[in-house]
Amino acid sequence: MPFTLAPLPYPAAALEPHIDARTMEIHHGKHHAAYVTNANKALEGTPWANAPVEKVLADLGQVPEVIRNAVRNNAGGHWNHSFFWSLMAPANAKGGGEPTGALASAITGAFGSFATFKEKFGAAGAGRFGSGWAWLCLSRGTLEICSTANQDNPLMHSAIGAAAGCAGTPILGIDVWEHAYYLHYQNRRADYIGAWWNVVNWSRVSELFAAGAKG
């Protein structure tokens, strides 16, 4: 089956005041929807037309060159946004605060403290020139921060190597494209990143960390 656009896992207004409803509606209903449509269009009639998106990204190096960029951008965009929605939750429910347990220990072990981790992750997002993402990845048992351009992501690393900008298993990611924040924050990307911490779903990130640590 071709890719489909799943509904947001919460109402579009659920992340307010940190992320406004209109931004969520356009981001999900227009931007993410377009990645789904364009990925399906590019993959139609190829052996990947019914493949899971993770398989498509891992196979990017074998996808015919004539559609490779379209697949990289749009299947990448589809995976990235599906992942991103799942990492957030309303601030009065599961969102915000600090991680606990094994994830908290791993973050302290890798970065010294949660505060230092937030600083470094925020800097990776703020420092990404143009459009892209910042990621926290589990790589060979260690947590690492990195960033990618456009809709590239760590899942592409096996196919396109260092061009992906990141390796490992992503357990957290933030969209720093202007469309993710411009309506509410205009050019203030750092303010958006600062507010976004209030809606991070750490229980979801912990699950991804535990799954990644098992290999």
Q: Which residues bind Mn ion (CB under 5 A)?
A: 175, 177, 180
Cβ-based nearer residue to Mn ion, 19 or 107: 19
Contact 36, 5 (CB under 8 A): yes
Contact 120, 110 (CB under 8 A): no
C-alpha dihedral (36, 42, 46, 49), degrees to nearest 10: 10
Cβ-based nearer residue to Mn ion, 84 or 209: 84
**Least distance in Å: CB of 30 to Mn ion?**
10
**Least distance in Å: CB of 34 to Mn ion?**
10
Distance from C-alpha of 57 to C-alpha of 82, rounded to nearest angstrom: 14
Q: Shortest Cβ contact with Mn ion: which residue? A: 175
Cβ-based nearer residue to Mn ion, 83 or 177: 177
Distance from C-alpha of 205 to C-alpha of 196, rounded to nearest angstrom: 14
Contact 142, 110 (CB under 8 A): yes
**Least distance in Å: CB of 129 to Mn ion?**
16
**Least distance in Å: CB of 29 to Mn ion?**
12
Assign 132 to helix, strand or coil. Answer: strand
Cβ-based nearer residue to Mn ion, 43 or 180: 180
